[in-house]
Amino acid sequence: MLASFLAAFFFALNATCASHSVRANGQARANLGRLVVAAIVLGLFAHTVGAGFASASLPWFLLSGVIGMGIGDLGVYAALPLLGSRITVLMTQCLAAPLAAVGEWLWLGTTLTAAQVLWGVLILGGVAIAITPSKSSPPRVKVRPVGFLFGLLAAAGQGFGALVSRKGVLVATAAGEAAHNATFGITAAYHRILAGLAFASLWFLAMRALDRLPADTSSRQRSFAWLVAAGLAGPVLGVGSYQWALATTPSGVVLPIAATAPLLSIPIAFGLEGDRPPRRAIVGGILAVAGCIALTAVH
């Protein structure tokens, strides 16, 4: 459970770092740059402390990376200009968990207790209360229906990516590997990042060939520091903790806790940028935290 909370914290920290990196370096450079940084750092770890590519689960984690960090991220970036950040995050976080839980039950036979389902729903409900747009705080873009299809794609990518990761853990365990520790989780994150980087690079090259890349609105002075920070916070520490959590805990438990990242980003943004949270975000945060405490107690 500790790994799940660490993943949520680092994903929340990544939101602020990535925002600064995008403004300084442009969306394409920021996205590819963070994956390159992560691949280098995680690769050094995986090929020294970890098992490198010597794992029976390698194909599964590569596939997980394509689904989650490739197709899923593509859905996120496509949905953002059509739905706005809050609706996109809401769909991704609140649909990914039930999709993963049902998929793991049907495919791998993993079942959750009634208490785990109840507290998981409370967590997701708190997230929904905190970030759902309202009349007083509407979306900053004109919402277009096609965006919901991309939002569903983003949620399916995240949920099914986690599901395939769980399959990778079972394959590694059956092969006699020590698959339930942080070292294995970080190595698995390296495999996922490589697949995500390959997918993102091919997509970037395809969009560049078609002249479909968005205009670069970044500042003239690049910020390598924010790019590195985004790479370390999200793909390295966040995904590493996330994979560690999935190695020991069902996806239906991990994903609701990871979904609290948008709430954890609120105090981080307040401390670093002075962005004061609305009252509804505080109420939703309290409900989600209560659900996390209860879920930890029954796990």
- The pLDDT of residue 226 is 84
Q: How many CB atoms lie within 10 A of CB 43?
A: 16
Total domain count for the chain? 1
pLDDT digit string, tens, across residues 97-124: 999 999 999 999 999 999 999 999 999 9
Q: What angle do CA 124, 125, 130 make, to 5 degrees?
A: 100
Q: What is the pTM of this model?
A: 0.87
Q: Decide if 246 contacts 180 (C-beta within 8 A).
A: no
**Sign of the Cα pseudo-torsion (145, 124, 15, 207, in order):** negative
Instruction: Residue 198: give the domain boundaries.
Output: 2-298
Vertex 91: Cα angle to 88 and 96 (nearest 5): 125
DSSP state of 214: P
Residue reference for tokens 């390959």? 198
What is the model's pLDDT at position 275? 58
pLDDT at 213: 64
**Max Cα–Cα distance, the chain, nearest Å:** 55
The whole-number pLDDT of residue 271 equals 67
Q: What is the dihedral of CA 9, 195, 156, 284, to 10 degrees?
A: 10
SS3 readout for 171-198: HHHHCCCCCCCHHHHHHHHHHHHHHHHH
Regions of the chain with pLDDT less than 70: 27, 212-223, 269-277, 299
Candidates 77, 75, 97, 79; CA nearest to 87 is 79
Cα separation, 215 vs 213, in Å, equals: 6
**Helix H segments across the chain?**
2-25, 27-46, 58-65, 73-83, 85-108, 114-131, 146-174, 182-209, 224-231, 239-248, 251-258, 261-273, 279-298
Structure confidence at residue 77 (pLDDT) = 78
Tallying the residues shown for the chain, one arrives at: 299
Say what the pLDDT of residue 221 is. 55
